[in-house]
């Protein structure tokens, strides 16, 4: 199995897909080779400054704790635990998080062993080894191992409250499909989806996969931000939260961390969308659902 990098520098870095391609070997994708960490870091661009949030050891310690905590469980169960803590540890702006080179370095320079542990498929029936999909290292934000967790935490948190993130990331179908939705950046929409899961309106993966495209399609004719407005976003709480990283303790392992003290989404907007989405879901085609079920 792929091991923890032999060399870990002090600071996080960036690496382009072009440079990264040299280190994504078949052996790495099969979990049988390590990343040549010294050579990779010579190709990477270290992030400037000395901000505590960009220290590599902070996020590496979190990854180590995740793998220890979930060692005897299915790797998928780690997502709901790691997502809020990764978000709170890194304390990125959305502009910083949109830099694909950051996440590529996270996967190859910080924790390739985690990527393999989390996403290595089972060996095939013919005896050939399992593999990690390449896009878990260098894919889009809804596929890449760490980007998908950070963006899930960013889009599903309710101000400082990460509890909706835990619910969303606890369902792999929700995590995999919701990040592809154009409307998920609207907080009442994201929180309404979580509320439906909490209330049992939507339970199975099939139901999630039927509901999410119906909601996205309906947004083409019904503007959710008009019928269910969110509050205006104030950048100051985020700036304060990022600045507080200089003196912050490691992200709590037993309790949920707290995000920036932003105003929460209006409850009435969330509830309005819960009702609307329930109507959409009642008419959605769910594979395997019998006639009348869910009425």
List the one residue out of 249, 248, 245, 253 whose CA is nearest residue 66. Answer: 253
Residues in the chain: 295
pLDDT at residue 257 tops 70:
yes
274-285 residue pLDDT tens: 999 999 988 876
Round to whole Å and give the CA distance between 34 and 227. 51
Contact predicate 251/150, CB 8 Å: no
Region 68-76: mean pLDDT is 97
Q: What is the pLDDT of residue 292?
A: 47
% the chain with pLDDT above 70 = 96
Higher-confidence residue: 156 or 214?
A: 156
From the number of C-beta atoms within 10 Å of its C-beta (0-12, 13-18, 19+), residue 294 rates as middle
Helix or strand run (H / E) with residue 45: strand 45-46
- CA-based angle 167:114:169, to the nearest 5? 10
Which residue has better confidence, 102 or 282? 102
Give the CA distances from residue 188 to residues 246, 272, 281, in Å, rounded to whole numbers and listed in that order: 32, 9, 17
CA distance 187 to 178: 12
Report the distance separating Cα 250 and Cα 252, nearest Å.
6
Give the residue ranges of DSSP H helices in the chain: 17-20, 26-29, 37-43, 56-69, 78-90, 94-97, 100-105, 112-119, 135-138, 145-156, 163-169, 172-178, 187-198, 205-218, 224-227, 235-243, 267-283
* Tens-digit pLDDT profile for residues 137-186: 999 999 999 999 999 999 999 999 999 999 999 999 999 988 998 899 99
**Alpha-carbon distance 186 to 131, whole Å?**
35
Question: Is residue 288 pLDDT above 80, yes or no?
Answer: no
Residue 294's pLDDT is 45
Residues 85-109 have a mean pLDDT of 98
Residue 261 is predicted with a pLDDT of 97
- Beta partners for 46? 13
What is the DSSP code (8-state) at residue 108? Answer: I
Confidence class for position 286, pLDDT limits 50, 70, 90: low
């Amino acid at each position: 199995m792929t091991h923890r990098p032999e060399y870990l520098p002090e600071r996080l870095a960036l690496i382009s897909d072009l440079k990264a391609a040299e280190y994504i070997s078949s052996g790495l994708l099969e979990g049988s080779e390590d990343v040549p960490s010294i050579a990779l870091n010579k190709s990477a661009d270290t992030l400037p400054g000395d901000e505590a949030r960009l220290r590599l050891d902070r996020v590496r310690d979190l990854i180590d704790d995740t793998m220890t905590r979930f060692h005897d469980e299915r790797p998928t169960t780690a997502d709901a635990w790691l997502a809020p803590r990764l978000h709170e540890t890194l304390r990125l702006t959305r502009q910083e998080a949109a830099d694909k080179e950051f996440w590529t370095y996270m996967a190859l320079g910080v924790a390739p062993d985690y990527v393999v542990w989390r996403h290595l498929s089972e060996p095939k029936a013919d005896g050939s080894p399992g593999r990690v999909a390449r896009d878990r290292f260098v894919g889009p934000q809804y596929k890449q191992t760490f980007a998908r967790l950070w963006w899930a935490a960013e889009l599903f948190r309710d101000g400082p409250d990460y509890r909706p993130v835990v619910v969303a990331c606890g369902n792999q179908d929700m995590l995999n499909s919701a990040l592809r939705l154009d409307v998920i950046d609207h907080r009442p929409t994201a929180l309404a989806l979580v509320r439906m899961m909490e209330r049992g309106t939507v339970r199975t993966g099939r139901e999630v996969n039927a509901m999410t495209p119906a909601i996205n399609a309906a947004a083409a004719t019904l503007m959710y931000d008009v019928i269910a407005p969110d509050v205006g976003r104030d950048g100051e709480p985020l700036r304060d939260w990022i600045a507080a990283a200089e003196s912050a303790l490691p992200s709590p392992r037993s309790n949920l961390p707290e995000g920036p003290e932003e105003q929460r989404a209006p409850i009435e907007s969330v509830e309005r969308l819960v009702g609307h989405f329930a109507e959409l879901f009642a008419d959605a085609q769910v594979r395997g659902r019998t006639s009348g079920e869910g009425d």
